Chains A and B, each alone.
Chain A
């Protein structure tokens, strides 16, 4: 298969470590943000979302942090597992749209056993 990592930021971690993936979003009017996970040959899979009236939201092993001042979003994955290896995308609702998403470039996460 092809390598999608050639042009992507990459993060390599050891199994069991915590991972932090960062994203800068573009539109200050966006008020809804989503993280997606995409494995090779598959479509993006929803992980967690957050609205702009929150700074932090936690899910199972994942936490999303939102800093509206600097338009920055991060995804923290606790106790990273080999199955977490994938490309991770942040997405924002374009300028406050109620249907249109703008995706970031993506980060390739590789978990070493």
Chain B
């Protein structure tokens, strides 16, 4: 079946704009994760959903970041009033349960100018 998909693949935003990044996990996967990956770095955990419940949002850098998964499938990561330091690749991953066999999407590259 299809893997994890993310849209858009690339996003350029002017500083101060709001953006919304979408993740379509693998069908039936209970767990969904968002990561932020800066250039030349490993992914850093942002938040974790189990079905529609957001169980951990400790990695979100500020209250400008918000994630939701209202029906336990598609998830959206929203960043309000974007800043230059928000420029990164945002990765979504899903798994049947927990982190085992976590499947990653291709990411959305966000550039804030």
Contact = CB atoms under 8 A, between A and B. Distances in A.
Interface of A: 2, 4-8, 32, 34, 41-46, 49, 89, 91, 93-94, 97-106
B91 A100 contact: no
B102 A41 contact: no
29 contacts: A4-B39, A7-B40, A7-B41, A41-B106, A42-B106, A42-B107, A43-B4, A43-B91, A43-B93, A43-B105, A43-B107, A44-B91, A45-B104, A46-B102, A93-B99, A97-B99, A98-B98, A99-B48, A99-B56, A99-B98, A100-B45, A100-B48, A100-B99, A102-B45, A103-B42, A103-B44, A104-B42, A105-B42, A106-B41
Interface in B7-56: 31, 33, 39-45, 48, 50, 55-56
Contacts, number: 63
A98 B4 CA distance: 21
Interface string B92-104: 0100001111111
Contacts of A45: 104
Nearest to A45: B104
Given A99-B31, A102-B45, A106-B41, A44 B106 contact: no
A49 B95 CA distance: 15
The main secondary structure of chain A at its interface with chain B is loop
Contact of A101 (B4, B39, B45, B50): B45
Interface of B: 4, 31, 33, 39-45, 48, 50, 55-56, 91, 93, 98-107
Nearest to B91: A43
A44 B43 contact: yes
Contacts of A98: 98-99
Contacts of B106: 41-43
A32 B93 CA distance: 18
Contacts of B45: 94, 100-102
A12 to B, nearest CB: 17
